[in-house]
Amino acid sequence: MSSFKVFDIAGSGMSAESVRLNTVASNLANADSVSGDPTQVYQAKHPVFQTVQALGGAASQTADQASASVKVLGIEANQAAPEARYDPGNPLANADGYVYSPNVNVVEEMTDMISASRAYQNNVEVMNTARNLMLDTLKLGQS
């Protein structure tokens, strides 16, 4: 019985969403990490998700190909230019008195966090339900 794959699928979803939550946490934590050098300033990070198709026969769609887990392809840095702010009193300011703050959009990160947390909860729910169904199946014919 290949039904245990449902745990792999939901597990991969949970792990991908937790990576996303981690990047959100890192972005929010560094939202105010300024730097005097625009090339050294923190850049917002975002994960890129990709579907992993199970290896099945090439000829036809089989049950193996019905299962598709998810993986994190990589973490992309936001390439938008950092925001320059005139703050000569800052010890990190450059010769012209400017500091550069990261290209983190806090509102965007918060919505991303909500989305990731809901998606994570969905996967937990899937795993719980599948677990209960499987335990019920084990008791088949015993009651």
Partner 1 sequence: MALNLDSYLGVHAQALTLEAQRTELLAANLANADTPNYKARDIDFKAALAAAGGDSGSGSSGGATAGSVALTATNAAHIGGADSGITDAALGANLKYRVPMAPSLDGNTVDTQLEQAAFAENSVRYQATLTFLNARLKELMTAIVGQ
Binding site for partner 1 (CB under 8 A): 1-3, 5-6, 9-10, 12-13, 16-17, 20, 48-51, 60-63, 65-70, 115-116, 118-119, 122-123, 125-126, 129-130, 133, 136-137, 140-141, 143
CB of 105 to partner 1, least distance (A): 17
Q: Provide the minimum distance between the beta carbon of 125 and partner 1 in the complex, in angstroms, as a whole number.
A: 8
Q: Which residue's CB is nearer to partner 1, number 69 or number 94?
A: 69
| Nearer to partner 1 among residue 55 and residue 95 (C-beta) | 55
Compute the least distance from the CB of residue 108 to partner 1, in Å: 14
- Helix/strand/coil (H, E, C) string of 42-104? CCCEEEEEEEEECCCCCCCCCHHHHCEEEEEEEEEECCCCCEEEECCCCCCCCCCCEEEECCC
In whole angstroms, the minimum distance from the beta carbon of 73 to partner 1 comes to 9
Nearer to partner 1, 10 or 99 (CB): 10
- DSSP structure class, residue 34: -
Report d(CA 56, CA 4) in Å as an integer. Answer: 17
CA 69 to chain centre: 14
Please state at what angle helix 5-29 crosses helix 106-138, rounded to 10 degrees. Answer: 160
**Which conformational region is residue 141 in: left (phi greater than 0), alpha (psi within -120 to 50 degrees), or beta?**
left
Nearer to partner 1, 81 or 114 (CB): 114
